[in-house]
Amino acid sequence: MKVSDILKTKGSAVITVRRDETVLDLSEKLRQERIGAAIVSMDGHTIDGIVSERDVAYAVAAHASRLPTVLVETIMTKVVVVCAPDDTVNEVMSVMTKQRFRHLPVQDGQKLVGIISIGDVMKHRLSEVQLEADVLRDYARVQR
């Protein structure tokens, strides 16, 4: 199973936010779309950074009541690890758990083609596991 298989089911829509938008704008976007992270991009294609609900949450400690007016670029992560459509789900799963990322943008060459979360990865692993279990059950039945 590959990253492109996940994108096939969830689609390649990516929610982006500009680096000069406020954290309040960002939080409204996250809440409205019911997502955990947005790609920071000025033009919708080039990745300037990534910003997650964790960045917002941790920033409450530092900025308190001033946080709504702080700019996205202040709290975003600039060095972004990406994956490619051809990467396997197992590879991505291992990168996510080892490096403690929950979201990876998907880039095809220079083009941003999607974003996958640890929830997406888990959902797909789960369907594989269930499929394997069904196959094994059928196999066991035949053996008897």
Partner 1 sequence: MVMTVANVLKIKGRIYTTVKPTETLREFAQHLKDDRIGAMVVTHDGDTLDGIISERDLAYGLAKYGEKLADMKVSELMTKVVLVCSPEDSIEEVMDFMTQRRIRHLPVKEDGELIGIISMSDVVKAHLTGRLMSARLA
Shortest CB 71 distance to partner 1, Å? 14
Alpha helix stretches (DSSP H) within 11-117: 23-33, 53-63, 72-75, 89-99
- Closest to partner 1 by CB, 45 vs 126, is 126
Q: How many residues does the chain have?
A: 144
- Please tell me the distance from the alpha carbon of residue 113 to that of residue 18, in angstroms, as a whole number: 18
- Closest to partner 1 by CB, 8 vs 123, is 123
Rounded to the nearest 5°, which phi and psi values hold at 95?
Answer: -60, -45
Q: What residues does 112 pair with on adjacent strands? A: 107
Binding residues for partner 1 (CB under 8 A)? 23-24, 27-28, 30-32, 36, 53-54, 56-61, 64-68, 90, 93-94, 96-97, 100, 102, 118-119, 121-123, 125-126, 129-130
- Closest to partner 1 by CB, 22 vs 107, is 22
